[in-house]
Amino acid sequence: MEKYLYHYTSIDTLLLILKNKTLAFNTLQNVDDLEEADSEDIEQIGKICYVSCWTNDDNESIPMWNMYTPNMQGVRIKLKEYPFQKYFYKKGEYFFNEDCESYINYNSLYIDDKACITANAPLLEHVIYTEDERKLYPHIKNVTKKVEKLDNGKININETINYSFNELGRYKRSNWSFQNEVRYIINMAPYSMKELISCKSEAEQRKLISRLEDTKIKAPYKRYFLQLSDEALKNIEILLGPKTTEEQEEIVKLIIDKYCPSAKILNSNLKGRLQ
């Protein structure tokens, strides 16, 4: 059985989604909870974590209408989980070790020359609501040191640095729990595949990876877009906000007629009660 997710937004954003057939991902620096951008050990690491925020609650939410649509006059979009276009790559393409499929357009990513993204992105995660500071501000950087005694009696210390981004974007404070939020998450390194492959030494690679901790380096993209599949768009459902006017309803119909004729339009169950 297919599962569906819901996204509250404006009519203007609906137009962009249907016209371009894309969904936008924002960094954690640009979500409603500004606390999410920092971790325990790296300031503003949220710039490398891109999210698209949804809910799996099919019941209309008055707080969500209020927060994410202008004067409750926007729309709620219903799409199946993972509505993105798939791309297929052969072994050797873009440095893949085996044949694979991905929702990431690696041709565009390679041409842009801005970032690295793993093939399994985006991940779909249910936000966990907590007051645990260790989860709200996760530890990202792990340093291990290996001490080696050389034949000449000297000591050599090898330092290995690893970064784990698995906990980014997954936790929010309990007062956000009304959102019942589900997120698509893409973590991307602020250096390109070309740059990583061109490193001629371990020192060059370390210098490149150190960009993760450089607060002067901006996010690779202001927004990152994933293409929606034609199949997903055929079954999209548009719920009109409870305070949507007749003129706005006509605008939504015109948008759908032009860009997505198969979309289904519904009226809010709250219409009339909140006018």
Please report which confidence band the pLDDT of residue 153 belongs to, taking 50, 70 and 90 as the band edges: low
**Per-residue pLDDT, 12:** 97
Rounded to whole angstroms, how far apart are CA atoms 184 and 166? 13
Question: 168 or 147, which is more confident?
Answer: 168
Q: 273 pLDDT exceeds 90?
A: no
Q: How confident is the model at residue 87 (pLDDT cuts 50, 70, 90)?
A: very high
Question: Which residue type, as a one-letter code, is found at position 109?
Answer: L
For residue 145, pLDDT over 80 is answered with: no
103 within 8 A of 82, measured Cβ to Cβ: yes
What are the pLDDT digits (tens) for 163-221? Answer: 999 999 999 999 999 999 999 999 999 999 899 889 888 888 888 988 999 989 999 99
Q: How far apart are CA 217 and CA 220, in angstroms?
A: 9
- Give the SS3 label for residue 187: strand
Distance between first and last Cα of the chain: 36
Q: 3-state DSSP call for residue 263? A: coil
Nearest to 163 by CA among 143, 177, 179: 143
pLDDT score for 133: 95
pLDDT, position 115? 95
Q: Can you spell out the DSSP letters for 95-111? A: G-SS-EEESS-HHHHHH
Q: What is the CA radius of gyration of the chain?
A: 22
Give rounded-to-5 percent helix, strand, coil for the chain.
30, 30, 40
pLDDT digits (tens, 9 = 90+) for 104-143: 999 999 999 999 999 999 999 999 999 999 999 999 988 8
- Could you read off the pLDDT of 37-75 as tens digits, one per residue? 999 999 999 999 999 999 999 999 999 999 999 999 999
Q: Note the pLDDT of residue 111.
A: 94
Assign 169 to helix, strand or coil: coil
Indicate the domain borders of the chain.
Answer: 4-267
Give, as one character, the DSSP assignment of residue 191.
S
- DSSP label at residue 39: -
